[in-house]
Amino acid sequence: MTFDHVQHFIRKIAPLANLSAAEIKLLETPIHIHKAELTVNGKKYPAYRVQFNNSRGPYKGGIRFHPEVDEDEVKSLAFWMSLKTAVADIPLGGGKGGITVDPKSLSEKEMQELSRAYVRAFADHLGSKIDIPAPDVYTNGQIMAWMLDEYEKKVGHHDPGMITGKPLELGGSLVRDIATALGGVYVLEEAIKKLKLKGKSVVIQGFGNAGMNVAKLLSDRGFSIIAVSDSKGGIYAQQGLPVDEVVTIKEKTGSVQNYHSGKKISNEELLTLTCDILIPSALSSVITEKNADKINARIILELANGPTTPTADEILHRKKILVLPDILANAGGVTVSYFEWVQNRTNYYWTAQEVETRLKEKMVTAFHKVWDSFRDRQYDFRTATYIHALHKILTTEKIRGRI
Ligand code: NAD
């Protein structure tokens, strides 16, 4: 996803959302783009923190370590975070960070040094009331712990709410590990009620944090997981797969394809299997104009970010497939990050049950808010979700007098 796509998207949606020229300009302009060059063992790494919009609260968004990270990508991701926090109705804005690095080329010591260098470079722009990072691609709880430590050294006091996705010992939240999948399940359950869908067959692409957890949660709720996949390929069993056994095989051998029973299939075949619910939980742009016509699902739950291309989206809409878009479907992660921040700031920690109850309330409410605006069906559910988010941002911008 490039920033050209973001601008194209805003301009496409502008007439449907009745956006003025000033509103369009505001929506496509990030508030700050911070850049730095980090040095570790003599090597230099470009680093970014883009603060896109903070009209609804402090900037919020992950930090990505990846060789393809650049300013354009970080800017686009920061824009989508502004929409995601608006849809989830949490009092936070949108930001994103990244370092252009192949993390596999670094030792653990270098990784720690790079994480600390990132915080030293951007510390003045971070903080629990300013901008709150979190993990993203190739960053994790350990990296958040090093970053928190470096930040607290610099400011000279505790501020665990300056970053989320931390280990529990440093103020992380219970349920954060399964939050994206669980949030998706809550949204899916509401959509199923609306469509009065009786079938319960599920196909899942990707078997990592999002995919594996959604498989477990749905299987526990009586759904039949008929196919799953990872980067090596997939397995399929019409009668349903025993999810616990597949999880064990994945953990022991590294791939779901080593499960002894079921038919081996490719990731392309998996996407076109006949099922009730299809859950892309791996990469972006996997449902395209090439395969959208062959998709045989009633509902698509986008746990991955950006799995459907705009052209594919139009085909799916014509086929009357309900797409629950990423900024709603996978907002459970950032919602529990918000809960982590609340717990850090009040210094009072919730039980897993409390987190789950509050997550459910947030996700169900978010789904119905969008569904209600979608009822007249002039456009698809994704467009309704985007318009809802953009209007929320513009409302606070107007109340503040910024436009
Ligand atoms: P992960 O690294 O834990 O898992 C990714 C999975 O995708 C792995 O099982 C991997 O084998 C599989 N995969 C990689 N290449 C593949 C391919 N070509 N075909 C099929 N599968 C392939 O990542 P994750 O945290 O589960 O994230 C997955 C998606 O969900 C990403 O798009 C991410 O941006 C999105 N997401 C995750 C979270 C979260 O909290 N984890 C939150 C919001 C969005």
Q: What spacing in Å lies between the alpha carbon of 280 and ligand 1's midpoint?
A: 9
Ligand 1 pocket: which of 66, 85, 305 to mutate (most atoms <8 Å of CB)?
Answer: 305
Distance of alpha carbon 76 from alpha carbon 116, whole angstroms: 25
Q: What local confidence, expressed as pLDDT, does residue 237 receive?
A: 98
Distance of alpha carbon 390 from alpha carbon 387, whole angstroms: 5
Residue length of the chain: 403
Q: What spacing in Å lies between the alpha carbon of 91 and ligand 1's midpoint?
A: 26
Q: Which three-class secondary structure state does DSSP give residue 59?
A: strand
Q: Within 64-129, where are the H helices?
A: 71-87, 108-122
Q: What local confidence, expressed as pLDDT, does residue 211 receive?
A: 98
More confident residue, 376 or 39: 39
Q: What local confidence, expressed as pLDDT, does residue 36 receive?
A: 98
337: closest CA among 185, 165, 136, 184? 165
111: closest CA among 74, 71, 77, 63? 63
For the stretch 159-211, pLDDT in tens is: 999 999 999 999 999 999 999 999 999 999 999 999 999 999 999 999 999 99
Mean pLDDT for the chain? 96
Contacting residues for 56 by C-beta, under 8 A, at least 6 apart = 85, 86, 91, 92, 93, 392, 393, 396
**Residue 119: pLDDT band by 50, 70, 90 thresholds?**
very high
Closest residue to atom 2 of ligand 1, CA basis:
208
Closest residue to atom 36 of ligand 1, CA basis:
304
For the stretch 260-294, pLDDT in tens is: 999 999 999 999 999 999 999 998 899 999 999 99
182: closest CA among 333, 62, 81, 326? 333
Q: Is 280 in the pocket of ligand 1 (CB under 6 A)?
A: no
Contacting residues for 314 by C-beta, under 8 A, at least 6 apart = none
Q: What spacing in Å lies between the alpha carbon of 256 and ligand 1's midpoint?
A: 14
Q: Is 80 in the pocket of ligand 1 (CB under 6 A)?
A: no
Q: Is 204 in the pocket of ligand 1 (CB under 6 A)?
A: no
Q: Is 266 in the pocket of ligand 1 (CB under 6 A)?
A: no
Contacting residues for 152 by C-beta, under 8 A, at least 6 apart = 158, 159
More confident residue, 24 or 9: 24
Q: Which three-class secondary structure state does DSSP give residue 43?
A: strand
Active-site annotation, residues: 96
Residue found under tokens 């970080």: 74
Please give the domain boundaries of the chain with CATH numbers for all domains: 30-166 (3.40.50.10860), 178-329 (3.40.50.720)
Q: Is 206 in the pocket of ligand 1 (CB under 6 A)?
A: yes
Tokens for 49, please give them: 């923190």
Q: Is 160 in the pocket of ligand 1 (CB under 6 A)?
A: no
pLDDT of 377 over the 70 cut: no
Q: Is 304 in the pocket of ligand 1 (CB under 6 A)?
A: yes
Closest residue to atom 18 of ligand 1, CA basis:
231
Average pLDDT for residues 212-231, to the nearest whole number? 98
Q: What spacing in Å lies between the alpha carbon of 376 and ligand 1's midpoint?
A: 34
**Residue 373: pLDDT band by 50, 70, 90 thresholds?**
confident
Please state, for a pLDDT cut of 90, what percent of the chain lies above it.
Answer: 95
In terms of Cβ atoms closer than 10 Å to its own Cβ (0-12, 13-18, 19+), residue 339 is: buried
